[in-house]
Amino acid sequence: QKEVEQNSGPLSVPEGAIASLNCTYSDRGSQSFFWYRQYSGKSPELIMFIYSNGDKEDGRFTAQLNKASQYVSLLIRDSQPSDSATYLCAVNSGNTPLVFGKGTRLSVIA
Amino acid sequence: SAVISQKPSRDICQRGTSLTIQCQVDSQVTMMFWYRQQPGQSLTLIATANQGSEATYESGFVIDKFPISRPNLTFSTLTVSNMSPEDSSIYLCSALRELNTEAFFGQGTRLTVV
């Protein structure tokens, strides 16, 4: 059974701080890793994807992958109230559907 | 990225009836999926919609309750049959353009069964 684990939160950070979201996965054969943001009542939207070990930066977002530890994280710098949402970690192992974690609810306090 | 049009966006249905949800992708995609999301919960995969053949259902979901069609590489439907209040949920279709790439989502269908 392929599993993706996330802390459900809520994670509360003050505006301007760094929010750190973490995710672990069980399948060592996983090849691609994704972070989605989901606002209440909306469908998930892709924020970042990462395929290789290390860091990948896109604006205020940095995804970090450590395949040896089966760990992927998302850092949000200069957090804004508009970043308040549920963040879903998803993992893909090739010709299979994405496996989603339960999501971490982030609250950025103004 | 792919654009997925899903409809209806919401519906209120009587128990015992059926509702068919449609998803149209703006370009050909390799795989299409159907998810259910209960309020405050994460996504639960219902099935993989296979083009030209029967869908592949996850544990706990059966074809008689959730018949799925995928007649071509851009279109799929999910029917929620013989509905009960427990079927009230958000239903999402999703697609992968290529293997190991990101999944895109339709806008979702908020279903309420009364």
Nearest to A18 by CA among A86, A59, A75, A74: A75
Q: Can you tell me the distance from the alpha carbon of A52 to that of A36, in angstroms, rounded to the nearest whole number?
A: 18
Q: In what order do the strands lie in the sheet with B19-25?
A: B4-7, B19-25, B75-80, B68-72
Q: Can you tell me the distance from the alpha carbon of B7 to that of A95, in angstroms, rounded to the nearest whole number?
A: 27
Record: contact A43-B92, CB cut-off 8 A: yes
Which chain A residues have any C-beta within 8 angstroms of a chain B C-beta? 31-32, 34, 41-46, 49, 51, 88, 90, 92, 94-95, 97-98, 100-103
pLDDT, tens only, B10-63: 999 999 999 999 999 999 998 899 999 998 888 999 999 989 889 999 999 999
Record: contact B42-A90, CB cut-off 8 A: no
Q: Check whether B1 has a pLDDT greater than 70.
A: no
Are residues B25 and B7 in contact, defined by beta-carbon separation less than 8 angstroms?
Answer: no
